[in-house]
Amino acid sequence: MKYFGLAFLATALVLFGSYKSRPTGFLAKQPLCATPPDTIDTLTIGCAQIIQNRSITNLVKKHIAYNQTQKTVDGYRIEIFTGAGTEGKTGAGTIRTTFIEKYATVKAYLSFNQPNYSLHVGDFKDRIEALGFLEKIKDDYPNAILAREKVLK
């Protein structure tokens, strides 16, 4: 039994003593200073080095190209009128005319979503800008509300 314990201890030392943790995957195949394969892109910004798969780089480029083709973005408009029927149509047209006379630089959009006509104004990319304009026109249009919509870039 004494010899068995010593043999077990000697075997364990030989096995575990020679074991060294080795990197796996990409690092196991190539040393750290090697050039990454063709499917990997590297970018150095200051002291940081970004290593990423080339397919990620291609997806980012496609996303940028897609965004450049879009004419609208998520934003806000202010709804200053909503009404139904023929009274809604004539009312929206009248209010649109008076709004454009007073605020010539702000675009007005008349829309029909059966059975309602609504008049939305502005192309605001952020909520703070839209709320500022809403406060400015609140005296003229007390029922005006903020509406989240696709707006022109």
Taking only the tens place, the pLDDT of each residue in 64-117 is 999 889 899 999 999 999 999 889 999 999 999 999 999 999 999 999 999 999
Confidence of residue 39 (pLDDT cuts 50, 70, 90): confident
Supply the pTM of this predicted model.
0.61
Give SS3 for 18: coil
Q: Is the pLDDT of residue 15 over 60?
A: no
Strand partners, 42: 51
Mean pLDDT of the chain: 82
Cis peptide before 115 (omega within 30 of 0): yes
pLDDT tens for residues 118-139? Answer: 999 999 999 999 999 999 999 9
Q: Is the pLDDT of residue 141 over 70?
A: yes
Whether domain 72-152 has CATH 3.30.70.1070: the reply is yes
Residue % of the chain over a pLDDT of 90: 54
Q: Which of 23-32, 67-76, 126-135, 140-149 has the lowest mean pLDDT?
A: 23-32
Find the helix or strand (DSSP H, E) in which 88 lies.
Answer: helix 85-102
Nearest one of 130, 150, 127 to 138, comparing CA atoms: 130
Give SS3 for 130: helix
Q: Where are the domains of the chain?
A: 26-67, 72-152
